[in-house]
Structure 1
Amino acid sequence: MHVQNYRDIKPDTHSRLRGKEIPSLEEGRKAFAALAYNEIPRATKVHKAWTVMLIERGIIDKGEGHEILKTLNRIDDKAIEEMIQSYDPNFYKWRVQFERYLMDKVGSIAGNINIGRTLPPPLYRMKLREAVVPLIQATLEFRQNLLDRAEEYRDAVMPGYTHNQHAQPMTFGHYLLGLYEAIDRAAVQLEQAYDVINICDLGCGALAGTSFNVDREKPARFLGFDRVMEHTNDCVASTDQATNVVPAMINLAIPMSRVANEMHWWATFEFNMIELTDAICEASSMMPQKKSPCVFEEIRCTLGKVLGCYSDIVCRAQNTLYGDTIEVYEASEYVPNTVADVIKAINTFNKVLNNLIVKKDIMLRHAQRGFSTATELAAFLFRETHLPLRVAHAIVGESVHEVWEKGGTATDINTDVVDRAAVQIIGKPLQLAPKGLARALDATHFVEAHKSQGAVAPKEVHRMVTRRRQNLKKAQDRHAKRCEALKAADQRLEDAVKKLIGG
Structure 2
Amino acid sequence: MRHDQIREGRLTGERNTLIARYLSSMEADRRIASPDLRVDMAHLVMLNRQGLIAKEHAQKIATALHRMYTEGIPDEAFDERFEDIHAGIEGELIAKAGIDSGGRLHLARSRNDEVATCLRIRVREDILEILTSVATLREVLIRRADEHTGTVMPGFTHLQHAQPTTLAHHLLAYEEAFSRSAERLLETFARVNRSPLGSAAFASTGFPIDREMTCRLLGFNSILGNSMDAVSGRDFALEMLSTLTILMADASRLCEELILWSSAFVEFVELDDIYCSTSSIMPQKKNPDCAEIMRGHAGTVAGAFQSALVCMKGLPMSYNRDLQTLTPHLWNGISHTAASMEILAGMMDTAVFNVERMYRESDRGFSTATELADTLVREFGLPFRTAHNIVGRAVRSKEITLTVIERAGKEISGISLQEMGLTEDRIRDALDPGLVVAAKKVAGGPAEEVICDAIRIRSGILKDHNETMQMQRRALQDAEDELVSMIRGLIEA
Q: Is the 8 A contact 2:48 2:58 kept in 1?
A: yes
Aligned residue pairs: how many?
484
Deviation of 1:207 (Å): 0.9
Per-residue CA distance 1:17-53 (angstroms, 9 max, x = gap): 443452449977xx79856764433222111111111
When the two chains are superposed, the root-mean-square deviation of aligned CA atoms in Å is 2.5
What aligned pairs does 1:78-477 form with structure 2 within 5 A after superposition? 80-81=73-74, 83=76, 89=81, 91-108=82-99, 109-119=101-111, 120-403=115-398, 412-431=399-418, 432-477=422-467
Aligned residue number for residue 55 of structure 1: 48
Contact 1:168-1:373 at 8 Å conserved across structures: yes
The Cα of 1:326 is off from its aligned counterpart by 1.9
Residue 171 of structure 1 contacts residue 456 of structure 1 at CA under 8 Å; is this kept in 2? yes
Structure 2 residue identity aligned to 1:285: S
- Which stretch has the larger CA shift, 241-250 or 376-385? 376-385
Paired residues of 1:447 and 1:457 also in contact (CA < 8 A): yes
Q: In 2, are the aligned partners of 1:49 and 1:222 still within 8 Å (CA)?
A: yes
Residues of 2 paired with 1:440 and 1:61: CA distance? 85
Deviation >6 Å, runs of 4+: 25-28
State whether residues 28 and 328 of structure 2, in contact with CA within 8 Å, keep that contact through their aligned partners in structure 1. Answer: no
Give me the whole-angstrom Cα distance separating, in 1, the residues matched to 2:312 and 2:344: 32
Residues 401/110 of structure 1: CA separation in 2 closer, same or farther (3 Å cut):
same
Cα distance, 1:332 vs structure 2? 3.8
Structure 1 residues 46-55 or 362-371, which shifts more? 362-371
Secondary structure of residue in 1 paired with 2:283: coil
Could you tell me how far 1:322 is from its partner in structure 2? 1.7
> In the alignment, residue 105 of structure 2 is paired with which amino acid?
I
Give the AA of the match of 2:89: F
> For residue 468 of structure 2, what is the aligned residue in structure 1?
478
Unpaired stretches in structure 2, ≥5 consecutive residues:
none
Q: Deviations over 1:322-360 (max 9, x none)?
A: 211123333244212211101111122112212211111
* Deviation, structure 1 residue 402: 0.2
In the alignment, what sits opposite 1:407?
none
CA separation of 1:123 and 1:88: change in aligned 2, threshold 3 A? closer
| One-letter amino acid of the counterpart of residue 292, structure 1 | N
In structure 1, distance between residues paired with 2:339 and 2:80: 37
Tell me which moved more, 125-134 or 212-221: 125-134
SS in structure 1 opposite 2:53?
Answer: coil
Q: 1:194–1:330: structure 2 CA closer, same or farther, 3 Å change rule?
A: farther
Q: Is the alpha carbon distance of 1:20 and 1:190 closer, same or farther for their aligned partners in structure 2, counting shifts above 3 Å? A: farther
Aligned partner of residue 294 in structure 2, secondary structure: helix
Match of 2:63 among 70, 94, 102: 70
* Aligned-partner Cα distance in 1 for 2:73–2:378: 78
CA contact (8 A) 1:274 1:359 kept: yes
Q: Cα distance, 1:124 vs. partner?
A: 1.6
Q: Distance in 1 between matches of 2:305 and 2:75?
A: 38
Query: In the alignment, is the contact (CA less than 8 A) between 1:298 and 1:345 conserved in 2?
Result: no
Where 1:161 maps in the other structure, the secondary structure is strand
- Match of 2:335, SS state, is helix
Distance 1:486 1:76, change over 3 A: closer
| Preserved CA contact (<8 Å) 2:44 2:58 | yes
The alignment partner of 2:104 has SS state of helix
* More deviation, 447-456/412-421: 412-421
| 2:269–2:351 contact (8 Å) kept in structure 1 | yes
Cα distance, 1:78 vs. partner? Answer: 6.1
Matches of 2:293 and 2:29, distance apart in 1: 31
Q: Secondary structure at the match of 1:205?
A: coil
Distance 1:126 1:427 in 2: 73
Superposition pairs for residues 4-15 of structure 1, below 5 Å?
Answer: 12-14=5-7
Distance 2:31 2:273 in 1: 37
For 1:287 and 1:230, the matched residues in 2 are separated by 62
TM score, norm. by length of structure 2: 0.92
CA distance in 1, matches of 2:219, 2:309: 28
How far apart, in 1, do the equivalents of 2:69 and 2:476 lie? Answer: 20
Q: 1:121 to 1:33 in 2, by over 3 A?
A: closer
TM-score normalised to structure 1 length = 0.90
- Matched position secondary structure for 1:321: coil
C-alpha distance after superposition, 1:407-466 (max 9, x if no partner) = xxxxx5221221222232223542221211110000000001110111110110110110
